[in-house]
Amino acid sequence: MGTVQLIPMDPASFVQVRRADDPRLGERVQRLANLRDATKGTVVLIGVPDDRGVVAGYGRAGAADGPRALREQFYRLPLGPMSAVGTRQIADAGDLPAVGSTAATHEQLCEVVAAVAKQGGIPCVIGGGHDATYGSIKGFLQSGKGAGVINIDAHLDLRPLGPAGVIGSGTAFRRLIEERLLRGHHIVEFGLQQHAVAPMHWAFAREHGVRLWTWDDLQAPGVETVFAGLLRDLAGAHRRVAVSFDLDAVTAAEAPGVSAPNPAGFSAHDVLRLFQLAGADPAVGHLEIMELNPRYDIDGRTARLAALCLWYFCAARVMS
């Protein structure tokens, strides 16, 4: 696979206490030494410890530590219904080093994601800044024909590049549209906060046919009902679906450790159910959990929620 060298992560190293009667995920999940060894249906963790895009977009620095914080919580979780979990269900490819420019990192991520997805694996990108979604989704698109994307986020992430082409954390979906890698109507923005979106970005979304669901829009029909319907719709239209999750979609009371805290938004229960639905749907072939910022977390609250989201996705996938 090209020249990308990932920094290996040992899941077992995150397990501090071991008991024969209560094994933890870190004792079962193995490091994926070669991306070509990813088997069909395997959830493959890919860390992107890079928050340069967040800083460039005037967000709070610290999300570069997000992948490690998520792993620390995820690998300490009990197996639950995943008693037979192993390298054929979940594997860890390690971290993508943030070397060179932000754009170069995105291209390397594209290569890594494409390699995993072409083998039939399910790339799970954990960040880091949401700008990495550009390379992540681009790689998923290169691995097969077409895809629909659901972005669970308080923001549109349709910002233009900054002066001299600076890549900020809110630019990913605009770049994908403008480079004609993804059409607007293939993207669903789920859980938008109207106070968090500039009029020009609303206009861009409508001009390109991006499908918009604000947090307010979801209250009457129900978050789960709408999400399940969107999964069916996108699966029917594209067969493949990617789900991108920015933790700032969750209310700050339950997810304080993010780059841009949100005073109102989804509850922890809401997003755990969304991840269950996504994990149970075989059309979902790509996953992202972004913008975890341990520097501003409280008692690991946000890292634990991020880890539980991944746990619920994996449990639903393994048991489906």
93, containing H or E segment: strand 90-95
Q: What is the pLDDT of residues 171-204, one digit of tens each?
A: 999 999 999 999 999 999 999 999 999 999 999 9
**Is residue 53 classed exposed, middle or buried when 0-12, 13-18 and 19+ CB atoms within 10 A define those classes?**
buried
Query: Over the Cα atoms of the chain, what is R_g?
Result: 18
Q: What is the pLDDT of residues 146-169, one digit of tens each?
A: 899 999 999 999 999 999 899 999
**Domains in the chain: ranges and CATH:** 11-319 (3.40.800.10)
- Mean pLDDT within 62-90: 89
- Mean pLDDT within 76-103: 87
pLDDT of residue 86: 62
pLDDT surpassing 80 at residue 4: yes
Asked if residues 307 and 315 have their Cβ atoms less than 8 Å apart, the reply is no
How far is residue 304 from each of residues 102, 175, 183, 264, measured CA to CA in Å? 28, 31, 34, 19
| 283: helix, strand or coil | coil
Q: How confident is the model at residue 81 (pLDDT cuts 50, 70, 90)?
A: confident
CB atoms within 10 A of CB 296: 16
The fraction of the chain above a pLDDT of 90, given in percent, is 86
4 Cβ partners below 8 Å, 6+ apart?
Answer: 96, 108, 111, 112
The fraction of the chain above a pLDDT of 70, given in percent, is 98
Q: What does pLDDT average to over the chain?
A: 95
Look at 54-58, 92-96, 266-270 and tell me which has the smallest mean pLDDT: 54-58
pLDDT of residue 98: 86
pLDDT of residue 85: 72
